Structure 1
Amino acid sequence: MRLPRRTSPYLVDGALAALVLFAVSLQFLFPDEDGDPLSWQGFLLGAGTAVPLIWRRRAPILCAIVISCVTPAMAVYHAPPPDVVYGGLVLLYTLAAYVEPVPRRVMLVGWVIGASATMSLKEHAAPFEYAFHLLSLLSAYGFGVLARTQRAYTAALEERARALEREREIDRARAVTSERARIARDMHDVVGHAVSLMVVQAEAGPVVVRSNPARAEAAFDAIAGAGREAMQQLRLILGVLTDAGNGRGGLAAPVPGLARLPDLIRQVSGTTEVTVTLRTTGHPRPIGAETETAAYRIVQEALTNTVKHAYAARADVQLDWGDTELAITVTDDGTGSGPPGAGGGRGLVGIEERAAACGGSAHSGPGPHGGFRVTARLPAARRPAAERAP
């Protein structure tokens, strides 16, 4: 929403100058029979204390010099003298609100001294008149200081609001980038795993279609099963995207956890030539849903790399529950050179990103006895003292 344009400073200051000129002219409009003498020269001097206010914000110092010279001249000429220095009050307010400290303080001291000298030497004023005129000058200056402080405070609030808005935009962009990376990892894991199993079975099917029809039929069933599983996971992911865009909370996000690892092991062992075993040590305990999903996806991606690239006959998955972390190790007996060289290592990068997103770490490389090994350490709640070994 765009704010309306501010009123022109010349228009505001011109109206203010006209108001001061009217106040100065009251002595001429309503003359007092026993009052001070009036003359057109006195009127011009009075106008000289009002007209320069048109430029009070454009050229405050020049305006201050002109009014500071004309006002004492009007008091000395005395036809008529200034009853109230209206122009001087507006001038001191303007200086306090818009001018640097040194010029405005010098001008304030000069006006106080000048007003005191004029009242003593020319007017022979009573004590209450000193108090009235000097307090008027100081009050005008004080109101200008308050206006200056309020303007600075408002500017600071506006700058803070702009800074907060910039931070919100940065946080929003960071959240969008993070969510895109998470969705990309999920899509890669789901599609990559399913397609790898389908490719393996599709390559094995024609070889045994005549010699072992039952095995060929099982291969095609495995292809269909992997495709259905991939379609289900993709529907969940796309459902989350659609509902997020529409502001609805329909389908739940795909959150496979450790409880589904045995099914994943059986799927890989039953549909490929790789025999996969699962071992668990330590005391399993509940962990966060995000960490569970990361653990499942790490094992899934590691086995997918084994099936696609390692040319392995065996793979071992080990879960080791420590006091404060869950250690995941996936090893195979393949060549150990497949994943980085064959596919660019995008799956291994995804494993490291998933582990880092949960506050853990992951590493991959050749195993100590050949093959390839993927290790990940994910944070877990501290094991109760009663479960720890003495």
Structure 2
Amino acid sequence: MRDWAVDITAFLCAVGVGLLALGTVEADPTTPDAAVFVDALAGGAACCALWVRRRWPVALAVALTVIGIVEPVAAGSLLIALFSLAVHRPFKPVALVAAGALAVAPLQPWLRPDPGVSLIASTIIGVLLILLVISWGMVVRSGRQLVLTLRERARRAEAEAGLRAEQAQRLAREAIAREMHDVLAHRLTLLSVHAGALEFRPDAPPAEVARAAGVIRDSAHEALQDLREIIGVLRAPGEGDESDRPQPTLLSLEALVAESRHAGMKVTLGNRVADPAAAPAALGRTVYRIAQECLTNARKHAPGSEVTLILAGGPGDGLTIEALNPAPVEPFERVPGSGQGLIGLTERATLAGGHLGHGPEPGGGFGVRAWLPWAA
């Protein structure tokens, strides 16, 4: 609808200018009637040709430039065609056609002069009108391109914002998944090991059965507490009470080792940190998670082997943690694992500014070594 309105307006403007020029031609008594008739036909054809200016702007502008040399009634159509050319085409074709129109501008007033206007004045007016419509069309084209550029930038910014939101959600889900693995794997492995012991040793002494059942009960309770804490992180503010359970620190390692010993593991802890209480909370939590995952893996893949945990370091030097265990000497039923624990530990250490390595030991067994920064 907008294009039709613009086309009709351009056609009427060209007709108006053509009628004014035709009136000037008729007012000249030296002009024969046949020339007036031909001018009227040429002017009408030039006005009608404007309906194809969007499809062939260059060809139309060139044709009207040539016709305008001998037909003053086509001047209005020529100006509109030059304006449309400047709007719809880049600078190079516009400059070439405009240069041609400016070059032939003196020819029309020279071939068919207006008795009331001098040749110089007619030439100056024609040149100024051509420059005006060309400049106006280029301004309109620049404005349209600016609007399109701004729209494209807005669309791209919206798409990038959506991608950033998706990436943030994905990272948040990955962080929650790693946290769930680190927190729950330790508890659930205890449940699996002791439930398996009760299954394969139904004739165990009552005291041992009671101890295993107690470990299963405590581990299940701790797993539920950990799960409740993680789900609390997923709740929006105001949906429930925030968990007030304290986070593990470097001082919590003693309790973790005692829990593993109570479950039947052989764990040796060598803590050479002078003041564990002075360790930053984030550092202590990371060390605790690394030790927890190492004990869980040892319980899964090397049951019955002694695990050695060694901590050393202090402020300014960083903190080193080593977890070593020999290869199992007796066949055992493997507990299935996801294989993501050590990857998560490596990422944890990297995010904390340190590094972590793991792999088989030269004499057999498996070792995990990590270094974490500790600011002075």
State whether TM-score is above 0.5.
yes
Q: How many Å apart are 1:8 and its aligned residue?
A: 6.2
Matching residue within 263, 266, 270 for 2:255:
263
Distance of 2:335 and 2:271 partners within structure 1: 29
Instruction: Determine the structure 2 residue equivalent to 1:92.
Output: 82
1:151 aligns with 2:144: yes
Counterparts in 2 of 1:210 and 1:105: CA distance versus 1, 3 Å: closer
1:296 aligns with 2:288: yes
Distance of 2:304 and 2:226 partners within structure 1: 27
Distance of 1:342 and 1:210 partners within structure 2: 25
The C-alpha deviation readout for 1:346-368, integer Å capped at 9, x for no partner, is 32233223333434332222335
Distance of 1:114 and 1:360 partners within structure 2: 78
Aligned residues: 363
Q: Which moved more, 1:89-98 or 1:151-160?
A: 151-160
Gaps of 5+ in 1: 1-6, 76-80, 384-390
Contact 1:361 1:377 in 2 (8 A): yes
1:70 aligns with 2:67: yes
Distance of 2:367 and 2:80 partners within structure 1: 82
Matching residue within 93, 103, 108 for 1:113:
103
Matching residue within 223, 234, 237 for 2:230:
237
Contact 1:316 1:331 in 2 (8 A): yes
Counterparts in 2 of 1:341 and 1:326: CA distance versus 1, 3 Å: same
Q: TM-score, normalised by structure 2?
A: 0.80
1:49 aligns with 2:77: no
Instruction: Determine the structure 1 residue equivalent to 2:163.
Output: 170
Counterparts in 2 of 1:13 and 1:139: CA distance versus 1, 3 Å: same
Distance of 2:332 and 2:98 partners within structure 1: 84
Q: TM-score, normalised by structure 1?
A: 0.78
Instruction: Determine the structure 1 residue equivalent to 2:366.
Output: 372
Q: Where do 1:167-206 residues align within 5 Å?
A: 167-204=160-197
Q: Which moved more, 1:190-199 or 1:204-213?
A: 204-213
Instruction: Determine the structure 2 residue equivalent to 1:135.
Output: 128
DSSP-derived class of the 2:105 partner: helix
Q: How many Å apart are 1:24 and its aligned residue?
A: 2.6
Matching residue within 212, 227, 251 for 2:242:
251
Matching residue within 11, 15, 34 for 1:17:
11
DSSP-derived class of the 1:50 partner: helix
Q: Which amino acid aligns with 2:323?
A: V
Contact 2:312 2:321 in 1 (8 A): yes
Distance of 1:50 and 1:18 partners within structure 2: 8
Instruction: Determine the structure 2 residue equivalent to 1:281.
Output: 273
Q: How many Å apart are 1:230 and its aligned residue?
A: 0.7
Distance of 1:340 and 1:361 partners within structure 2: 29
Counterparts in 2 of 1:155 and 1:236: CA distance versus 1, 3 Å: same
Counterparts in 2 of 1:36 and 1:209: CA distance versus 1, 3 Å: farther
DSSP-derived class of the 1:168 partner: helix
Contact 1:119 1:130 in 2 (8 A): yes
* Amino-acid identity (%): 28
Distance of 2:11 and 2:101 partners within structure 1: 20
Distance of 2:65 and 2:365 partners within structure 1: 94
Instruction: Determine the structure 2 residue equivalent to 1:61.
Output: 58
Q: Which moved more, 1:332-341 or 1:199-208?
A: 332-341
Contact 1:272 1:307 in 2 (8 A): no
Distance of 1:94 and 1:286 partners within structure 2: 74
Q: Which amino acid aligns with 1:243?
A: A
Q: How many Å apart are 1:301 and its aligned residue?
A: 0.8
Distance of 1:166 and 1:328 partners within structure 2: 44
Q: Which amino acid aligns with 1:312?
A: G
Q: Which moved more, 1:131-140 or 1:321-330?
A: 321-330
The C-alpha deviation readout for 1:23-51, integer Å capped at 9, x for no partner, is 433567xx689944684433222223322
Q: Which amino acid aligns with 1:46?
A: G
Counterparts in 2 of 1:343 and 1:27: CA distance versus 1, 3 Å: closer
Distance of 2:317 and 2:3 partners within structure 1: 68
Contact 2:102 2:130 in 1 (8 A): yes
Gaps of 5+ in 2: none
The C-alpha deviation readout for 1:234-265, integer Å capped at 9, x for no partner, is 11222322428xx9796369854434333222
Distance of 1:137 and 1:249 partners within structure 2: 74
DSSP-derived class of the 1:243 partner: coil
Q: CA RMSD in A?
A: 3.7
Q: How many Å apart are 1:129 and its aligned residue?
A: 4.6
Counterparts in 2 of 1:87 and 1:356: CA distance versus 1, 3 Å: same
DSSP-derived class of the 1:49 partner: helix
Q: How many Å apart are 1:178 and its aligned residue?
A: 2.3
Q: Which amino acid aligns with 1:297?
A: R
Distance of 1:229 and 1:27 partners within structure 2: 97
